[in-house]
Amino acid sequence: MYILPAIDIKDRRCVRLLKGDFATVHQVAEDPLETARSFQEAGAEWIHMVDLDGAKTGKRINGDIFEKVAAESGLKVELGGGIRSMDTLEEYFSKGVSRCILGSAALKNPEFVREAVKRYGYRIAVGIDALNGQVAAEGWLEVSEISYIELARRMEDIGVQTLIFTDISKDGTLSGPNLEQLDALSQAVSCNVIASGGIREVGDIKRLKERRLYGAICGKSLYSGTLDLAEAIHTACIPADGMDLERFFVKSPLVPAVVQEESTGQVLMLAYMNLGALRRTVETGTTWFWSRSRREYWNKGATSGHFQRVVSLTGDCDNDTLLVRVNQTGAACHTGAHSCFFNVIL
């Protein structure tokens, strides 16, 4: 599970809000770039950034700040707030932003989301912010009559691969994430889910990891000191206590891993894991393999965006073959086919 430390920008300052209320804005750090660099030094790979001015106005307000962080921090930037056009997406992506979040547009302009996904694929995420289960928009200033589950399903149908869910009532409160709503969302869609809002301490990270979520966004907990970023990242990555993974590599340092789609039972691909790849798979919740030709680890979907979210891992009776059941995002095969097994013999 990825830990994404958060920086929100308003009036060019690093700030946090309480429950999305702009009247509660307060500065939490001095310099966005230096703050991002401190996150990178703690072990973060991603940073979650929001243009609060853009969220209110629907315009690209603080773009130069985000572009500088993307270019100089060493972090992958996930950015939301005020992204309403293909031109804005193109500008951010061309300047090094890794993933853009569409929020209000998902509710008010789904065709724009469809067009964005068609062009940029996995680099598009949708932020679903809810109050009492109903989706809010326009910087959380408007609350709709659409449930967060319904919007999530609509976005999945469009092809969105990553959802960022925030329970507004939890945001900035340090009262713990809304596990009930996150469970319901994970069961309703096969998208990668990133949890946001309410995270206070490392126990919350453990509870989110147990749910095999793709990521967790941490903001106020880091600035208030209730959560240590390095500890959170370590906790999100360590395998379950007492898990004996070495037993699968007694006969050989490499074992075949059969990847099967959980929903249909279709066999998607065959690859090989060594102990390191299996550990990474357990730690991240996505599939990792060892390339025998390149002699290096590879994370399925890291280039294409077609990640495999692990549902279960099973060893055979002889402990020398692995069965990996996954929720497949996009095509599993490099040819573009959903499964690698399409050459009919008999």
Sign of the C-alpha dihedral, residues 291, 289, 160, 339?
Answer: positive
Q: Report d(CA 169, CA 233) in Å as an integer.
A: 25
For 95, the token pair is 């300047």
User: What value, to the nearest 5°, has the Cα angle with vertex 40 and ends 35 and 42?
Assistant: 95
Is 318 a residue of the active site? no
3-state secondary structure of 276: helix
Nearest to 264 by CA among 174, 198, 190, 155: 190
Beginning with the edge strand found earlier in the chain, give each strand of the sheet holding 308-315 in spatial order.
267-273, 255-261, 322-328, 308-315
Phi/psi of residue 55, nearest 5 degrees: -60, -35
**Residue 17 vs residues 9, 10, 296: alpha-carbon distances, Å:** 11, 10, 43
Which residue of the set 8, 51, 167, 204 is catalytic? 8
Catalytic member of 51, 53, 129, 204: 129
Question: Is 129 annotated as catalytic?
Answer: yes
Q: How far apart are CA 172 and CA 136, in angstroms?
A: 16
Catalytic residues: 8, 129
